[in-house]
Amino acid sequence: MELTAVVNLTGMDKTRTINAILAENIDRFMAEARLSDRDVASKYGCEENFIYRLRTGSKPAGKESIVKLAGILQRQETDFYIPRELEGKTRVVQRGRYIPVFNAITGQPKDYTDKGYPVGISDRQELAETRDPNAFYVEAEGDSMIGDDIREGDLLLVEPNKEVREGDIVFCRNDVGVTVKRFFRGPDHIELRPMNPAYPSIFIRGGNVVLFPVTKIVRDPRAKRTRKRK
């Protein structure tokens, strides 16, 4: 399990991702230690450009990198996960691990690509509480899922190794493309029902169909939401 932090969010820019925080801290800790990319790369056993990409955020820093950098920079692993403005206002717990985030997805069928990355790898990674080794996030886009208050920018946690059940929200890949809908089974077909009545259901009969359950929605704090009346 990876280390993360529970914090008082007062004064924190909530739009920053954990990857941005890691990059900022790597850059800051290197500057405080007066170590260059070349110095750290020599101790790390890697190319100088690799360290440059970690500290500028162009390459997400994984668990292994943080462990190595903590030793080189004489820091605790947890120091890297805490925004500078919240130092001293955190308590550390063991929770979650990094999983890949793939390109934005609408509720409607569309071309989708994981860019050919191996399982567990992508340009962007975010923390998730999951035991599924193949879990990944997809980012929501558009308004076809607003019936379940899924808004643009929300992250949908997909856990391929969990069972898909009737009525589940699913990530579906077929010959047409990829979509996110509620899953229902008919006598000779699969119905993928939208979460916005403005869009039609999709009925699939035959062909190659892959269904994975969406098990959690991570809300984008920037999204405008309408509070439901009690």
CATH number of 3-94: 1.10.260.40
Domain positions in the chain are 3-94, 97-218
- The per-residue pLDDT of the chain, averaged, comes to 79
Task: Check: CB of residue 189 under 8 Å from CB of residue 204.
Answer: yes
- Has residue 13 got a pLDDT over 50? no
Q: Comparing 3-94 with 97-218, is the CATH topology the same? A: no
Which neighbouring-strand residues pair with 217? 156
- Has residue 122 got a pLDDT over 70? no
Strand, coil or helix: what is 222?
coil
Q: Is the whole-model pTM more than 0.75? A: no
Please give the pLDDT value at position 148: 87
Q: Rounded distance, CA 22 to CA 16, Å?
A: 10
Higher-pLDDT residue of 177, 180: 180
Q: Rounded distance, CA 32 to CA 187, Å?
A: 66
Rounded average pLDDT over 170-190: 87
CATH architecture type of domain 97-218: Ribbon (2.10)
Q: Give one DSSP letter per residue of 100-142, joined into a string.
A: EEEEEE-SS-B----TTPPTT--SEEEEE----TT-EEEEE-S
Q: Rounded distance, CA 174 to CA 209, Å?
A: 5
Q: Rounded distance, CA 191 to CA 3, Å?
A: 40
Please give the pLDDT value at position 28: 94
Residues of the chain with pLDDT > 70: what percent?
74
The 10s digit of each residue's pLDDT in 203-213 is: 988 778 889 99
The 10s digit of each residue's pLDDT in 42-53 is: 999 999 999 999
For the ranges 1-5, 120-124, 142-146, the one whose mean pLDDT is highest: 142-146
Please give the pLDDT value at position 226: 52
Rounded average pLDDT over 190-217: 90
Give the pLDDT band (50/70/90) at residue 173. Answer: confident
Q: Give one DSSP letter per residue of 204-221, joined into a string.
A: E-SS--EEEEEEEEE--T
Location of structure tokens 């558009």 = 142
Q: For 11-25, 82-96, 200-214, which range has the lowest pLDDT when averaged over its residues? A: 82-96
For the ranges 96-100, 143-147, 156-160, the one whose mean pLDDT is highest: 156-160
78, with CB counted inside 10 A (0-12, 13-18, 19+), is middle
